[in-house]
Amino acid sequence: MLSGKNILLGITGGIAAYKTTFLVRLLIKAGANVRVILTNSASSFVSPLTLATLSKNPVHSSFVNTDEGTVSWNNHVELGLWADFMIIAPATANTMSKMANGVCDNLLLASYLSAKCPVFFAPAMDLDMYKHPSTIETLDKLQSFGNIMIPATSGELASGLHGEGRMAEPEDMVVFIKEYLLSGLPLKGKKILITAGPTYEAIDPVRFIGNHSSGLMGFELAKAAAKLGAEVILISGPSHLTISHDLVTLIRVVSATEMYDEVHKHYSSVTIAIAAAAVADYRPKTVAEQKIKKSASDFSIDLIKNKDILLSMGELKKDQFIVGFALETENEEENAKGKLKKKNLDAIVLNSLNDTGAGFGKKTNKISFIDKNSTIKTFELKTKTEVALDIMNEIIKRIHV
Ligand code: CTP
C-alpha cells in the first residue's frame, strides 16, 4: 500500500516526537520515500541525524540552509507538492492552532499550506489540554478543512497523569493510514483469484512438458488489482517472478493438476477470477519413476487431457465475475467469443499472435477485451503493467453496474 509513496513527515515539539523514529522506520520498511521536516522545538526531543539516517534523506527545519558557506533555500512549495501525503506527528496544540488559523511562521507550516495532498495529523498533549474547548474547536476546524485526524489514545502521559492525549503508536498510525488509503479504492473488500505462468507436466524426475509463459501478465494483474484495493490470491506455475504486497498471497504450483486443486480451495470465496495462466492442455499418462534412458531409437509419450481449470470455474459459477484469456492465430474474435460462451465467462481478453509485441515472453501486449454482450474494446500495444490496469478498469466498470 505504501510502496513508492512520497510521504512528508512534519514533526513538532512534543515528547511523543521520539516515537517518530519508529514511524519513519516502518514507513521506509513499507517501501515509502520519506522526507522529514522538524520544527525547532521538535529537535530538542528527537535528533535530526537519527531521522536523516532512518529516512535516508536530509532533514529540513528552516527556510534557509547555510551549510559550508553556501546559502540555499528549502522550497516549501516543492516539498508540499512532492508529497503523496503528509503526516504531522506529533501535532502539538500550538502547531494545530496555527494550522487551523493559517499561521505560517516556520517551514513545516508553509509546507502544510502548500500541500495539495491528504494531510494526516496525530494530536499529542496532556489530557486537560486535549479536553480544552479551544483544542476541541481546533480539531473540528482542521477536520472541516479535509485533514484526517489519527485520534490520540488513552494511557499514561508524560506528566504522569492518565487520560486521553497520547499520540497513537507508530504501528497503529501505519495501520490507520493504510486503512484510509484502502477505503477510497474501487476494489476494497473484493477478493480476486488470478492464475499465472506456465505449468510443467512431469515426464520423469528430470524432464517435463512446459511452455514459454513468463507469468508476467498474471503478476501485473495481481499488482494492479492490489493497487486498486483488492485482496489477491495469485496462483502461479513455475516463474522466476516475485511479488511483495500486503494484499497479495502468492501460491506457487508446478502442474495443471496442482493449479486446479489450489484454485478450487479458494474459488468459492472470491468475487473475481482471472485465468491468465498458460495451462498445459495435456500431461504424460504416466510419470517414469526413474530417469528415462535413451536406449530406443524411437520414443513416444502417451498424453492425457488436463482438466480445464477455467471451464470448471465457469461450471461452478455463482456470483463470480470470470475472465479468461485467449491466444489466437486465426479467426481471433470468433474463437475468443466461442471460448467465452463455452466456458461460461463474463469476459475474455484476446491477444492475437498476429500482433507484433504481443504474447509470451514479451514485456508488451496488445489486447481486446470482449464481454459476454459481445462489446469489444481494443487497446493499443502497451506494457503489460498498463494492460493489466486496462483489464482491471474494464472489470470494475462491469462489476459496479
Ligand atoms: N485454461 C485453464 N485450464 C486449462 C486450459 C486453459 O484454465 N487446462 C484457461 C487459460 O488460463 C486461459 C483460457 O483457458 O484463460 C484459454 O483457453 P483455451 O481454450 O485453453 O485456449 P487455448 O489453450 O488457446 O485452446 P486451444 O488450444 O484449443 O485454442
Of residues 57, 65, 75, 211, which has the active-site annotation?
A: 211
Range in 69-83, 106-120, 223-237, 259-273 the model is least confident about: 69-83
Query: Could you give the CA distance from residue 247 to residue 260 in angstroms, rounded to a whole number?
Result: 22
Mutate to test the pocket of ligand 1, among 310, 313, 352 (most ligand atoms within 8 A of CB): 310
Over residues 116-126, mean pLDDT:
94
Residues near 34 by beta carbon (within 8 Å), at least 6 away in sequence: 7, 8, 9, 24, 27, 28, 55, 56, 57
Q: Of 22, 186, 25, which is closest to residue 90 (Cα–Cα)?
A: 22
Over residues 109-122, mean pLDDT:
94
Query: What share of the chain in percent tops pLDDT 70?
Result: 98
Closest-CA residue, ligand 1 atom 12, reads 325
Reply yes or no on whether 211 is catalytic.
yes
Residue pair 279/305 in contact (Cβ under 8 Å)? The answer is no
Does residue 379 or residue 353 have the better pLDDT? 379
Query: What share of the chain in percent tops pLDDT 90?
Result: 82
- What are the residue ranges of helices labelled H in 145-255? 170-183, 216-227
- pTM for the model stands at 0.81
Interval between CA 326 and ligand 1 midpoint (Å): 7
pLDDT per position as a tens digit, 299-323? 999 999 999 999 999 999 999 999 9
Range in 116-125, 137-146, 352-361 the model is least confident about: 352-361
- Name residues contacting ligand 1 (CB within 6 A): 195, 256, 275, 277, 279, 281, 306, 308-310, 324-327, 339
Closest-CA residue, ligand 1 atom 8, reads 308
**With bands split at pLDDT 50, 70 and 90, how would you rate the model's confidence at 359?**
low
Query: Could you give the CA distance from residue 176 to residue 42 in angstroms, rounded to a whole number?
Result: 23
Instruction: Please say if the pLDDT value at position 401 is more than 50.
Output: no
Interval between CA 366 and ligand 1 midpoint (Å): 18
Q: Considering the chain, what is the average pLDDT of its residues?
A: 93
pLDDT per position as a tens digit, 4-18? 999 999 999 999 999
SS3 383: strand
Query: Could you give the CA distance from residue 39 to residue 60 in angstroms, rounded to a whole number?
Result: 9
